[in-house]
Chain A
Amino acid sequence: MIEIKNLAKIYHTAHQDIVALDDVSLSINRGEIFGIIGLSGAGKSTLIRCINMLEKPTQGSIIVDGQDITALKQKELRAARQKIGIIFQQFNLLSSRTVFDNIMFPLEIAQVPAKAARDRVNQLLEMVGLVDKAKVYPDQLSGGQKQRVGIARALANDPKILLSDEATSALDPQTTRSILKLLKDINQQLNLTILLITHDMNVIKQICDRVAVINNSRIEEVGDVLSIFSNPGTPTSQSFIKAIINKDDPEEYKHDLLKEHGSKFSKLIRVSFIGASAGDPIISAMIKRFDVDANILHGNIDRVKDVPFGHLTLELIGSREGVHQSMQFLQNNGLDIEVL
């Protein structure tokens, strides 16, 4: 649906050239929710702004539904933009218009006949659950309600793709969840391709199908959300994932562990699991089979799109033999083991 090829953006200033995007290539499929995650200054904002040509790329091409956006004349570009919806972090609603008229705005731009436009606005108000706020001005709305208006406005002209520029970054966690759910519903109902940028791995985790990690103006990693979560390949993705998976610090209990059990052998390990194995009673099977004790010190289970993943920090106590066999057993069952 979106084909980005060798995209580069260089800002020329009086003193130096600043590279904002460096040879970025991405391919986004029809109907998927694709996330781009990066720290501020990584280039994600420039990237999303290139897709509707708010920023003119220095090099490369962007093909949206078969049409090269970078090669269009002004008039064609305006027509193409009507089919690329966008929502913003700061909502950007017109304070001079009611909710109804804000959603009407893109329809006026596209010169949709008034009657058809009003019907469409009513339909959209229903879709985002704001029928009762039609006559209210944006200043009277909460952040979440404002973003719902933003979403309705972005969908008014039946866009081929929806861009989301940090759309939940100004919202509290609960509102963020409800907005993300709305985006997911829209994605499924309309089979709408959504491209979002964020600095929050939670957003990626909750709704994205695939994710690209951008750092220092380059795409470092692209993949399935689940595979990036289970196996982050770069320090950037690792630090993003660490930020949301609350891993423990083994130093907190490491030094008192060994002396407590005197003669018995013990080992501190962290077991990471993903997918089905999280549901199986592997730990209890191990305890019975190898006659070891497992002291659970820390644990965390999370879900990425219905697939459970997480980690447990265990102290295994028993004979030297038993502990080693236990670790082997866990590995054989597809778990990842890290000795701390």
Chain B
Amino acid sequence: MMMYAFGLTANTVLNTFWAENSWIAEKLLTATWETMYMVLISTALSYLLGLPLGVILVTTEAGHVLENKWVNYILGVIVNATRSIPFIIFLILVIPFTRLVVGTPIGTVASMVPLTLAAIPFVARMVETSLKEIHWGLIEAAVSMGANAWQVISKVLIPEAMPSIILGVAITTINLVGYSAMAGIVGGGGLGTLAYYYGYQRYEDLIMWATVIVLILFVQCIQIAGDGMAARIINKRR
């Protein structure tokens, strides 16, 4: 009897809580979807440009297959310059460009412009680091067999560095989750906007904490997926 009464009360409390807060779940779901979509597309686009840029940074170095002092120097300066600008400032700096491309600086699609642009030089450096881990003898072996620059890149550099490149993708994606929250504050949508409007401006603690938990889960999933994929390749080769 007592147990039944307790169960009933608990049930009522839960029902009331759900009735009062179910809108949060809806908001959270939409915002999570927005963040996911924003981050994943930005990551993909940043690799589309950052991967070749990283390859060029490595291969134009002295003694490498596309040795070119000036290209290497100029690209290095551009990458460093872009990476020196804090993202929150970068966001504002590129607004005119965002407006030009998307038509508006507000919303999830618009956020992908600064996210992608900021990630490109980061990706280039990540790829550069991965490619430099490759034992020089492998590159020399390919060259001594008569491989051209493209063959060295596509048959040696990228496949050999693949596990490391994949881990780099996970790191980049996780970084972009953080950046996307900053974009959210200036109207970029996603979890950042949600946390800022409700959590910061309206003191809705529940939303703030829910957002944090979703972000933690999201980042965990990306890292586990990245580690898993890299490990699968490494194990296959062992």
A contact residues vs B (CB 8 Å cutoff): 52, 54, 77-82, 84, 86, 88, 90, 92, 94-97, 105-106, 108-110, 137, 139-140, 153, 157
Contact = CB atoms under 8 A, between A and B. Distances in A.
Given A54-B140, A54-B144, A109-B146, A137 B236 contact: yes
Interface string B148-159: 100100011001
Given A92-B140, A96-B162, A82 B145 contact: yes
Given A92-B140, A137-B238, 8 more contacts: A54-B140, A54-B144, A81-B145, A92-B137, A96-B160, A96-B237, A105-B142, A137-B236
Interface string B207-238: 00000000000000000000000000000111
Interface in B103-145: 135, 137-138, 140-145
A88 B155 CA distance: 19
A61 to B, nearest CB: 19
B135 A94 contact: no
Nearest to A106: B145
A139 B163 CA distance: 15
Given A94-B138, A94-B160, A97-B159, A140 B238 contact: yes
A78 B140 contact: no
B49 interface: no
B233 to A, nearest CB: 8
Contacts of A106: 145-146
Contact of B238 (A81, A84, A139): A139
B147 interface: yes
7 contacts: A54-B143, A78-B146, A88-B141, A95-B160, A96-B159, A137-B238, A139-B237
Interface in B40-96: none
Sort A-B residue pairs by CB-CB distance and give the 4 closest, nearest first.
Answer: A81-B146, A92-B141, A96-B159, A82-B146
B153 to A, nearest CB: 13
B151 A109 contact: yes
Interface in B137-196: 137-138, 140-148, 151, 155-156, 159-160, 162
Interface of B: 135, 137-138, 140-148, 151, 155-156, 159-160, 162, 236-238
B135 A92 contact: yes
Nearest to B159: A96
Contacts of A82: 145-146
Contact of A95 (B145, B147, B237): B237
Given A78-B148, A88-B141, A90-B137, A108 B155 contact: yes
Nearest to B158: A96
B144 A81 contact: yes
A78 B160 CA distance: 22
A82 B155 CA distance: 16
Contacts of B151: 108-109
Contacts of A81: 143-146
A96 B162 CA distance: 9
Contacts of B138: 92, 94
